Amino acid sequence: MKKLQLYFSISILFILYSLTIFADKVAPYDPIEQNPMAGYASPHKIHIDKNGLYIFAQKYLTNQETYKKESLNTDKKYYLQFFTKNNLGEFKILSLKKEAKDNTHIYLFGADQLGRDLLSRIIHGAKPSLTIGFLGLIIIFPIGVLYGAISAYSGALIDNIMMRIAEAIMSFPSFYLLIILASLLPASLSNSERFALITLILSFTSWAGLSRVIRGMLLSIKSENYVISAELMGDKSINIINKHLIPQTFSYLIVAGTLAVPGFIIGESALSFLGFGINQPDPSWGNILSEAKELSNIITKPILLILPSSLIFLSVYSYNVIGDYLRDKFDPRNKL
C-alpha cells in the first residue's frame, strides 16, 4: 500500500511540475486575457463524431429577471485540434481548427468573473505555488544548517546565546507573523517583487526550527573520535564543521526538505487567499481560490473551490507521502 501511495505521489508531482514548466505550451490562453461577455462561463462539454472531437459554441446572455450572465449552448460545432501552432507561431496542445476561429473560446473548466479561462489560470498559477518551496529551501537550509553547526561546535556561552535567539524567533505564532510581515509590503510592489519578499518572509519563520534540530544532532557527533582527531591535528574550526559535522546531517536534510516544501505551498496559498500574496491579475492557486469564498460561488460554481483546493491538497499530500517514505528509509532503527 505504501509503495502504491509513493508511486501515485511521484506521478502527481511529475504531472504538476511538467505543467508548470510547459505552462505556456499547455495552457490554452493567456491567463490574464479577459472576455467580458464570458464572465463565469460554464465548462464546455466535449463531444465526438466521425470528424473528431468538438464543442458547441456558447452564447452569453444577461437574464433580465436576475440580471446574471448565463451561457447557452448553440448548435454550432467547433472542432478541436491538437499539437498545432497558432497565427503567432506559438505551439499549442489544444486549440480550435482554423476555419472555426472567431470569438469562441474553449472553456474546459469554465471561466472566472472577468471571463478569464480557469484552466489557463490554474496551470500558470502553479508557478508561484509550486516553486516557492524550492526557493525557500535554498534560503533556509544554508542558514539553518550553518547556524546550528556553529552553535553546536562553539562554547557553552555562544551556544546558549544563539539558541535563545532561535527560540525567540520560534516563539512567534508563525502564521500571524506571516500576515503581519506580508501586510507591511508596499502596495506599489510588482508581483515578482512581492513573490521574492514572501519567499524571504516564509524562510525567516522556518530556519530557526531547522537549526535547533541540526544543533542537537551535531552535539552528539562532535565528541566522535574522528572530530577530536581533526582538532588535535590543528584543523580549522570551519573546516571541521564543513568536512566532518555537516555531512553527517545529509540524510536528515533530504527528509526535512521534502517535508518543508508543503509548508511553503500552504503559506503562499494562504497569503494569496487573504490578499497579502500574489495579486490579481497574475494567478496563483491562493488568489484563484479566494474568488470562491463567496457563498453564492460555492453553491453555483463549486469548481472555483474544488479545482485549486484539490491541487493544493494533492501537492501537499504527495510531498508528505514522499517525506514519510524517505524518513522510514533513512531511519537507522529500520536497519537493525
Per-residue pLDDT tens digits for 169-196? 888 777 777 777 777 777 778 888 888 8
pLDDT (mean) for 60-64:
64
pLDDT (mean) for 200-216:
84
pTM (predicted TM-score): 0.82
How confident is residue 122, by pLDDT bands cut at 50, 70 and 90? very high
Is the sign of the CA dihedral 42, 278, 139, 166 positive or negative?
negative
Contacts of 60 (CB under 8 A, 6+ apart): 37, 38, 39, 41, 69, 70, 71, 72
CB atoms within 10 A of CB 296: 8
Measure the CA–CA gap between 75 and 170, rounded to whole angstroms. 62
Per-residue pLDDT tens digits for 63-100? 666 656 666 666 777 788 877 776 666 677 777 775 55
Q: Taking CA 27 as the corner, what is the angle to CA 77 and CA 306, rounded to the nearest 5 degrees? A: 90
| More confident position, 20 or 251 | 20
Measure the CA–CA gap between 21 and 264, rounded to whole angstroms. 19
Evaluate whether 330 touches 251 at the Cβ level (below 8 Å). Answer: yes
